[in-house]
Amino acid sequence: MDTEATVATTPDTPSPGGLARTIRLSRAEFAPLARHLDLPEPSPLSPLTDLCAPAPHPDADPDATGPVREADELLREFTGLPPAVVRMALLPLAVPDRVVDARSALFNSAPTQCRLYASHRCESVFVGLRPRLDGEYELLAPFASQDLAWWVQLQVQFSSGQPMPLPQEELTAEQLAFLLVLVDAYKTVFFRSFAARRTEPQPVTVSVTDLLEAQQDALRVADRRWISHAVAELFAAQLHPAGRCGVTLPPVTAAVAERELRRYEEAGYLERAGAGDPPAYEPGLTLATFAGTLFTWISLLALHDVQVVGHEGGRPVAQEDMVLFVVTEPTVWALVSQGLTRAREDWLAVRFGLRALGVVEACNLADEFLRPIPELTLPEEVYRPQPGPEPQPQPEPVTVVVPAQGSEPLSRPPAPPAPGPPAGPAFRPTHRVPSGGMSAWTAPDPSLQAVTRIDARVELEILERAGDWAHIVCANGWSAWVDGRRIEELRP
């Protein structure tokens, strides 16, 4: 691998920086690499539990079909270093006690990910793991917290960092969800006002109906230009203790919208316009300025930190915090979580501090956020492998040819093991699997092991949705649960 390529940076991914090396490898190469380095059995927070697991069938995982290179070739960036040093640099991947998710997204772009693993067993270095667009992965090691702080500085430096008026400095999760939807509703109404020229000024107003329509649009259409969808996408993708995924802000109901609109009116941030029913509200200067900066932000940057502090009931106990930077040209908006550790699946008790920061203040906040918990001694149970369920025999997948896509074989999910009841309604595909394929589960539970992978471009029909999960069926009648945020809608 070209040395310059390993230290090159892009504006949307953390830089390995300094002495960090980059290892590019396929999914099938994780297990041989772990054996070569004699890494311990993966602990509960380790990604190796999934990455080293064999695919149900070679055709079910496109990453498992390529050639597996020798460990010396994979580790050639570490040539000249003693094997013990290389092992120590990659040890956090197997026995992490801290995980930092660093995600960023430019305006209207998909969020990028670099998940960083650290362990008290090897000082304060991280191993970075990030997926590539070609289906492979990159390991960055040793990765220092200073590298991440430098990446934050690169992200926020494009802002003027001016002080701005705040509509509210502390919000519950419900109030934050309302504020984001309010911004989207105001943005939609504001842009609609340009549909026709007018002879005299007219106020731009929002109502409960506008708010509910804006939220429904964010849920139905994956449009990342709208702030409520972009933030929800970042929140839902984080790794939580015990593997929780998909947790996000509560929905904004009509009752919540009415209550918050009245509260904003009483605080002077909204002014009632006319006597319509439902009432319409015109944003005041503070709220309009806040919303205006979020019409087209520069980038979103989320840091989500999970630090294990103990072990209880067979699971690690962790402290969990998050900071979200919304980088705009005028200022850097910062959201800092309070009470995320005790929230579990319910974010109603979580509070968020909202601040308008300068570039230096934002960098200092990130630096403080990334400091590890000092003088922490963890029990040995934290690093022991978590016993998994007994493996269940899986039916063999079948390979079919989709005529509309030529003669290229695509791996379909396994066919039902036996004839079922009489055939139901005809298969009517509504979505398809994105490029790179995706995993499938027997139930909408992220703690379960994925049963197989579905190849890219396979057509699906949605049976039902449960939060971010989608219950799908394929043309051969096989059904499963998948990440409903990733499947692509078929266009007529």
pLDDT at 131: 85
280 or 463, greater pLDDT: 280
User: Among 174-183, 365-374, 438-447, which is the least confidently predicted range?
Assistant: 438-447
Element (H, E) at 23: strand 21-25
d(CA 279, CA 270): 11
| pLDDT tops 60 at residue 210 | yes
d(CA 397, CA 416): 10
Output b/e per residue, 59-83; b: 16+ Cβ within 10 A: bbbbbbeeeeeebeebbebbeeeee
pLDDT at 172: 94
Strands 431-432, 488-489: pairing kind: antiparallel
Those residues whose C-beta lies under 8 Å from the C-beta of residue 177, and which sit 6 or more positions away, are 228, 249, 250, 251, 252
CB atoms within 10 A of CB 409: 11
Pick the CATH number of 399-489 from 3.30.1360.120, 3.90.1010.10, 3.40.309.10, 2.30.30.40: 2.30.30.40
- CB-based contact 220:213 (threshold 8 Å): no
Confidence of residue 9 (pLDDT cuts 50, 70, 90): very low
292 or 409, greater pLDDT: 292
Which single residue is written with the structure tokens 């069926």? Answer: 473
pLDDT at 7: 32
User: Among 119-128, 245-254, 296-305, 388-397, which is the least confidently predicted range?
Assistant: 388-397
User: Among 38-52, 161-175, 273-287, 418-432, which is the least confidently predicted range?
Assistant: 418-432
Q: Region 458-475: what's the mean pLDDT?
A: 83
pLDDT at 147: 83
Q: Facing residues of 344 across strands?
A: none
| pLDDT tops 60 at residue 60 | no
Residue % of the chain over a pLDDT of 70: 82
Give me 471's structure tokens: 């219950």
User: Among 298-307, 355-364, 451-460, 479-488, which is the least confidently predicted range?
Assistant: 451-460
Give me 145's structure tokens: 């917290």
Segment 420-458, tens digit of pLDDT? 434 445 678 888 888 767 888 777 776 666 767 787 778
Which single residue is written with the structure tokens 């319509």? Answer: 276
pLDDT at 173: 93
User: In degrees rounded to 5, what are phi and psi of residue 78?
Assistant: -100, 15
- CB-based contact 238:248 (threshold 8 Å): no
Q: Sketch the domain layout of the chain as residue ranges.
A: 3-143, 170-358, 399-489
pLDDT at 448: 67
Which single residue is written with the structure tokens 């036996």? Answer: 418
User: Among 97-111, 165-179, 470-484, which is the least confidently predicted range?
Assistant: 470-484
